Structure 1
């Protein structure tokens, strides 16, 4: 076992599998090892996980569609951006419950992809899982309103919305009516990212004319690219890297961190801060499971969610600046910049052109979508994001 006593950033899944796991999952041990900061030998982490699971009254099964990253020296988070905060959530639940709840992690999509996983959480088959709000909109249509282009605006506006009573009473209630509880969220802003084969410098909507852009299943994203002078291209995620590299398509619309975490920096030549919608990655809880817990344990789980949300909030800017290298003050050796990707930051005039092209008022398709998914909710988003106010995390279930 001495060969396994390494810094956490240098361990991989094969190292962990070589250890006797004592009935714990690889992901659970990996999270425990990561949180120890390399201060414990792997064998000690395995023993700790085994003992905690055996002593617990309840086992919370948490499915994740991503795995631990293996980036030594990574700033902010040693794991993929779309499950940011998940290890801290596990640790907080076990600590705040006094060991009465053990969190067993299954990562890498072992329990299904995002949409399948969320259905399992809704049914109570799995107690917690990762899924973006965009994918969750298939079950909770009102969440589509969060994707109306430029309705939210910058990240501080999103934090203000997320911690508001209005969000709690409208969007969280919409999910809870479908037996889903948002534990915490990380709203990574999407940007237009172009292949290295594109020589045109894109700063205005018309610069995209004729380009094939990979889109997701998000309804409002698809509508936006129908409005823009592009060809929306539904390519499977697993094929996206090759499609960019081989010139099958010119770009994609994605939160840069997700692209960086999957090794796309080598094929991305430009990133433009169009910033009209988000990858609102989230961890969800089953209300069926939560409601069956004793009151003190329910409160422990929600306090753990608050701790995880606060952790995500506090590290959000650091990760974007120092890990992904997508901020104006990022160092030249950070993230995408180190790979030679050009970061394009739009002027106010250029951004106004994108806002005009994608305005709800001038696009019947967007007006129809707003009416379909909730005009009142849309007006609420505009009201909250336009107001002044704090963005600090609050205990939303007590509002």
Structure 2
């Protein structure tokens, strides 16, 4: 009997060691020397590829082979796509955006017939500018949050209604479903000439600035009254924060960190991986997980570029986008625990656990209080203008249909369907 107990204890220790090693591998990132050496020898795009590989496997891939395949693809490609994004390898450890995978998958699955020049790290555009450049034909592919994209393509806002979606699984289930093609993607294609590819992200929280360090945990809308909050340019977010008694101040994402540092704003709204990936957790005292709207960001391809491809290559693009969205969903869960720290089982060395910022997790009842005060149906007068605008573009009752989708998907397990089939 003692021998059995000893054997069980040894097995338990061994399993714990394996789990610990797995977490360390997930947390592995390129050090500064590695980043400099890779950039000098192989270039920025290879750095992004290496950073993503290291974050998921802990191993630097064969970059000679990668660069050679990139060069061969670019020289022999029949279709050449320029892809502008704000994503950078360092931030992508937190974001799990799938953007690097998308570019790589399109090239590999097309056997080099399609090349993708990935212009990351804000080289050619920030979020709204990326959308404008895709719309004007300067770029073929861009990325932006759904809210920032809505400043160029208003219907992008159709999924952003405050207090509508219960959580991350619900919005991703919709984005994977053929219903997203019927009610959302097809409208974006028809109205703006944009092929919506894959999405990454989470639900949006409210991050309170450092002046709230010595204040109690914020768990009610009343405790936010009067606070100046940074919002993206979304009319929906302006309506929502005003209905909570806050003072919304539109700020570009690239200006938000300084705005929080300087006190121009008292708070900001974004999703956890973006806050961690871009250093916002260091200027925040509390992260209040209101989860009031999807913080999701698509990659989008100009329909003019997409339509030039034969059907088999269009299928390659769709399959690559599906893979990227699957990866973004799955890696996002891992990142939320091992890197960001807002997940169900955060590790001790994740960002949320290392910074002084408090992670305020609301109960269903506490979140319901925000819905009672700030939900769309409680403030129909505030939303009448944008409802009319989106209904006219979509040709149907957009809020009504999205509410049906959100209600129908509530509590359901993820179902990674291929939306275009």
TM-score in same-fold range (> 0.5): yes
**How far apart, CA to CA, are the structure 2 residues paired with 1:17 and 1:153?**
42
Structure 1 counterpart of 2:40: 18
**Corresponding residue for residue 371 of structure 1:** 388
TM-score, length basis structure 1: 0.87
Structure 1 consecutive aligned stretches of length 4 or more whose deviation exceeds 6 Å: none
Match of 1:180 in 2: 194
CA offsets 1:226-281 (integer angstroms, 9 cap, x no match): 21222222344344323323434321111121121111222211111111112221
Structural mapping, 1:1-399, within 5 Å? 9-10=30-31, 14-19=36-41, 26-34=43-51, 37=54, 38-40=59-61, 42-69=63-90, 78=93, 81=95, 84-177=97-190, 178-198=192-212, 199-200=214-215, 201-363=217-379, 364-374=381-391, 376-388=397-409, 391-398=414-421
Aligned to 1:74: none
Q: Deviations over 1:125-152 (max 9, x none)?
A: 3221111211222233233232221122
Q: Secondary structure at the match of 1:270?
A: strand
Contact residue 206 and residue 270 of structure 2 kept, 8 A = yes
Long gaps (5+) in structure 1: 1-6, 71-76
* Cα distance in 1 between the residues matched to 2:286 and 2:166: 21
Q: How far is the alpha carbon of 1:390 from its aligned partner?
A: 5.2
In structure 2, what is the Cα distance between the partners aligned to 1:329 and 1:36?
23
How far residue 360 of structure 1 moved from its aligned partner, in angstroms, is 2.3
**1:44 Cα deviation from its structure 2 partner:** 4.8
Q: How many residue pairs get matched?
A: 379
Q: 1:238 to 1:312 in 2, by over 3 A?
A: closer
Rounded to whole Å, the distance in 2 between the matches of 1:214 and 1:370 is 23
Contact 1:144-1:219 within 8 A present in 2 as well: no
- Name the stretch that deviates more: 170-179 or 310-319: 310-319
